[in-house]
Structure 1
Amino acid sequence: MTKAVLITGGSRGIGRATARLLGAQGWSVGVNYAQNLAAARETVADVERAGGQALAIAGDVASETDVIAMFDALEQKFGRLDALVNNAGIVAPSSQLADMELARLKRMFDVNVLGAYLCAREAARRMSTARGGAGGVIVNISSAAARLGSPNEYIDYAGSKGAVDTLTIGLAKELGPQGVRVNAVRPGLIDTDIHASGGKPERAAQLGATTPLGRPGSANEVAESIVWLLSDAASYVTGALLDVTGGR
């Protein structure tokens, strides 16, 4: 039977690349987006061209009401939930902590931490065999920043991803006996537009050259690791933090 996945932040970057790859494997994909409907529709079209089904689903992951509605929409459309790719996240312009405003910090943690926890909670409620679900997989998208700290750039973002790592480790232990595997992928310097939103569009290319592999990674390379973790090939993998960083 065709499996169904919700990808938060699925309209661009790593989320879009993951949606495309899953479409090629015949998955049904819920493409969550916050504001850019046109980009979400492009991702839906990509999934359908690849051979899958897809649905654009609006929602702010920091809103409990939106999160519940997102999962409801997916299940109403496809009749099931087999996986969550907990990908939605934001970054803000480079800054030292001493110069960060409260509003920036609140929004960062609302989206990247609270949003990740709300989406993981909702997936757990629906997939846990102890709660009537059929089991499933959660892949959280963290960042190498969680262990590097991102000093003088995004120390708030780094901290938010540290929380995602801890969520992954703890939730894997909670849900393992309930038929749900939980892992995280920690991308490094990946060539996506998140760097532009942080005010440094050339960051991946410039810093990627300093990695052992000598280049930035692509969204597709990260997506390949996510798809593997979602697959039965990773059936004995849970609680793992998988670095996709070119050795950084």
Structure 2
Amino acid sequence: MEQGTTILVTGGSRGIGAETVRLLAAAGHAVCFTYTSRREAAAALAAQLRAQGHRIGFLQVDLADADAAASLLDRMPGDLPPLGGLVNNAGITGPLGGFLETRAATMREVLDVNVLATMLLCQQAARAWVAAGRRGAIVNVSSIAATLGAPGEYVHYAASKAAVEALTVGLAKELAGSGIRVNCVSPGTTLTEIHAAAGEPGRALRVASRIPMGRAAEAVEVAEAIAWLLSPRASYVTGSVLKVAGGL
């Protein structure tokens, strides 16, 4: 990724996204992040980082809205440098439960946010870089559910993340000749608010015994992998799905 550019992080106001924003800002990057509804949390994070001298922008966007996702790059703050990196972190699961009881509306929203928005943002970023003759780096955030299947909990979510991994591999091969790297981080169970949003706040602790390392991940541990894949230290890495899952 070129120096003096901005990294866009979707879903950056909390959890893995917020830790990624902090790490990238600390590494000297300008960062723009999105949030869906928690403006107070987003504004607080931006204010904290700006007070430390970092260049930060943030935008409210509903990534379930394809038009909003497709126009996101056009809405980025004009006082930030050009886009040089993209982290597709935003994702939803819908309620926990068996697949036979999962509503079609839930499936559609999960696919719209996790898959279609990711595709649209990858397409926009790559088009901009190719047109400008610039290099760029994309990191998509998947889930270990993509390979485990998440039976009895959210099979539809696992399927959406498997699509993200397939997108990563194919797009990396398609764009490698243009100097654009595309990689994926696949977190295992992580201590974030996604479990509460799915209906079980204590899920991370409940499933910890299944993890070979015996614990859930801290959000910053996943963010470190994302930051590394964006960095020059990963300059020969593309098309990779990096598991950060405690041995799962």
Gaps of 5+ in 2: none
CA distance, structure 1, for counterparts of residue 197 and residue 25 of structure 2: 27
Identify if the C-alpha distance between structure 1 residues 190 and 49 changes in structure 2 by more than 3 Å, giving closer, same or farther. Answer: farther
Instruction: Tell me what 1:78 maps to.
Output: 80
Instruction: Tell me what 2:139 maps to.
Output: 139
- The answer as to whether partners of 2:175 and 2:181 remain within 8 angstroms in 1 is yes
What percent of counterpart residues are identical? 44
Instruction: Tell me what 1:211 maps to.
Output: 211
Q: Given residue 136 of structure 1, which amino acid in structure 2 is its aligned partner?
A: G
TM-score (norm 2): 0.95
Question: Cα distance, 1:50 vs. partner?
Answer: 4.7
Q: How does 1:190-209 map to 2 (within 5 A)?
A: 190-209=190-209
- The answer as to whether partners of 1:87 and 1:141 remain within 8 angstroms in 2 is yes
Deviations along 1:17-49, one digit per CA (max 9) or x if unpaired, are 000011111111111111211111122124324
SS at match of 1:119: helix
CA distance, structure 2, for counterparts of residue 184 and residue 154 of structure 1: 20
Question: Cα distance, 1:52 vs. partner?
Answer: 1.9
SS at match of 2:233: helix
CA distance, structure 1, for counterparts of residue 159 and residue 52 of structure 2: 36
CA distance, structure 2, for counterparts of residue 98 and residue 139 of structure 1: 32
Q: Out of 90-99 and 137-146, give the one that drifted further.
A: 90-99
Instruction: Tell me what 1:148 maps to.
Output: 148
Please state if 1:5 is matched with 2:7: yes
TM-score (norm 1): 0.95
Q: Given residue 8 of structure 2, which amino acid in structure 1 is its aligned partner?
A: L
- The answer as to whether partners of 2:5 and 2:81 remain within 8 angstroms in 1 is no
Greater relative contact order, per chain length (Cα 8 Å cut-off, separation 6+): 2
Equivalenced residue count is 246
Q: Given residue 18 of structure 1, which amino acid in structure 2 is its aligned partner?
A: T
Question: Cα distance, 1:68 vs. partner?
Answer: 4.0
Identify if the C-alpha distance between structure 1 residues 244 and 139 changes in structure 2 by more than 3 Å, giving closer, same or farther. Answer: same
Aligned with 1:48 (options 47, 50, 71): 50
Question: Cα distance, 1:84 vs. partner?
Answer: 0.3
What's the RMSD between the two structures over aligned residues?
A: 1.4
Q: Out of 223-232 and 106-115, give the one that drifted further.
A: 106-115
Runs of 4+ aligned structure 1 residues displaced above 4 Å come to none
Gaps of 5+ in 1: none
Please state if 1:100 is matched with 2:79: no
- The answer as to whether partners of 1:23 and 1:48 remain within 8 angstroms in 2 is no
CA distance, structure 1, for counterparts of residue 185 and residue 40 of structure 2: 27
